[in-house]
A and B are shown apart, each in its own frame.
Chain A
């Protein structure tokens, strides 16, 4: 069955099914219950499953993730939410010092099965600390998996997949895409491992994730007007990275532009660029280009169009690669 849903509704549907199917699952966070989430992602879940399984927590992210750690140790499968990316910072001690390494510390005796939902990235004119791109920070921590869906179909299926995984998965939802609709094919998830070619092309590969996938697809459409054929790869899994998939696309096109909202320095663009250089040395037609946020705190709403890679900034990156 295929249904057209917004990303927020697709995630809501996945959460509803997980709560129905898995008695060990719990949803909790700030405003997720009575309000249904500030983005309506958990709308109706508390009414349906009760306040003992869909729990409003105090405004204390360290407590939310501490509770998630304890529940996971006791064999539950928590799905906590931090309301915004920047609110993950107060929980970093629980995430890094406990959640990420308890499996390792216990020599595999205590897997920490959980999915942390993080509404992520900018694009909605929100205040400070509501538009952060923390994927590189999370991907740097051994023991965590990091995934970022780009559309409703991916959001639904990747969340269900993440819930089944034995490791803690950081699920980074592109909040600027919550309201965009797309077909969700419930029976046919497609391959959920690794990256995904979102559009095929011959001349150059753009690698992106989250909200930057849709923008890169727009760029590819515009580039076609100029007779430039761009392949867009949705990286999806940021830890572990789909090394073979990313390399395969760039081996075909010979040119790569990596697009992310996060600041440039030590961002995942550097990691992927190094991967491509290692594996494709001598085969690249141009240095790997990066189009990223700047090395500044993510600005508040009125300045975010200057910060987030725009269509023109991505096109400039493409042109730099083409004319090298």
Chain B
């Protein structure tokens, strides 16, 4: 298995840090893409950060109440070796679904 880490993103308007209000996921948990990971507070507002990938959470960096800088590692996921470092998301195999039926004339 490989690891994939994500930093605290730039939350806009020149903010350089944010305070962790509450982690919404814990190590070992599987999360889907866009699942809220953590609630953070900046000097402007409190926001929930969505997960950039689907994967298993390995480490959450920082405790509730800690202030971390933009660019510092926020969360680390465990991913399969062949998925390490990718840009985007590995497509999930879906069941073939259809609404359109065919009929010959």
A residues near B (Cβ < 8 Å) are 6, 8-9, 31, 35-40, 84, 123-127, 130, 175-176, 179, 203, 218, 221-223, 226-228, 301, 311-312, 315-316, 318-319, 322-323
Query: In the bound complex, what is the Cα–Cα distance between A12 and B100 (angstroms)?
Result: 39
Which secondary structure characterizes the binding site on chain B? Answer: loop
Query: In the bound complex, what is the Cα–Cα distance between A322 and B87 (angstroms)?
Result: 40
In the complex, the answer to whether A322 meets B88 with C-beta atoms within 8 Å is no
In the complex, the answer to whether B96 meets A222 with C-beta atoms within 8 Å is yes
Query: In the bound complex, what is the Cα–Cα distance between A14 and B97 (angstroms)?
Result: 35
The residue that B88 contacts in the complex, of A35, A36, A126, A316, with Cβ under 8 A, is A126
Query: In the bound complex, what is the Cα–Cα distance between A227 and B89 (angstroms)?
Result: 36
The residue that B85 contacts in the complex, of A38, A130, A221, with Cβ under 8 A, is A38
Q: Which of B81, B98, B101 has the most CB of A within 10 A?
A: B98
In the complex, the answer to whether B90 meets A228 with C-beta atoms within 8 Å is no
Query: Any chain A CB within 8 A of the CB of B15?
Result: no
The residue that B89 contacts in the complex, of A36, A124, A315, with Cβ under 8 A, is A124
In the complex, the answer to whether B103 meets A226 with C-beta atoms within 8 Å is yes
In the complex, the answer to whether A124 meets B91 with C-beta atoms within 8 Å is yes
In the complex, the answer to whether A311 meets B97 with C-beta atoms within 8 Å is yes
Pick the 7 closest A-B CB pairs, nearest first: A124-B88, A126-B88, A315-B100, A226-B102, A125-B89, A312-B100, A228-B102
In the complex, the answer to whether B102 meets A318 with C-beta atoms within 8 Å is yes
How many Å from the CB of B98 to the closest CB on chain A? Answer: 5
| Contacts of B66-89 to chain A: CB distance below 8 A | 81-89
How many Å from the CB of A110 to the closest CB on chain B? Answer: 36
Query: In the bound complex, what is the Cα–Cα distance between A226 and B100 (angstroms)?
Result: 10
The residue that B87 contacts in the complex, of A38, A218, A222, A318, with Cβ under 8 A, is A38
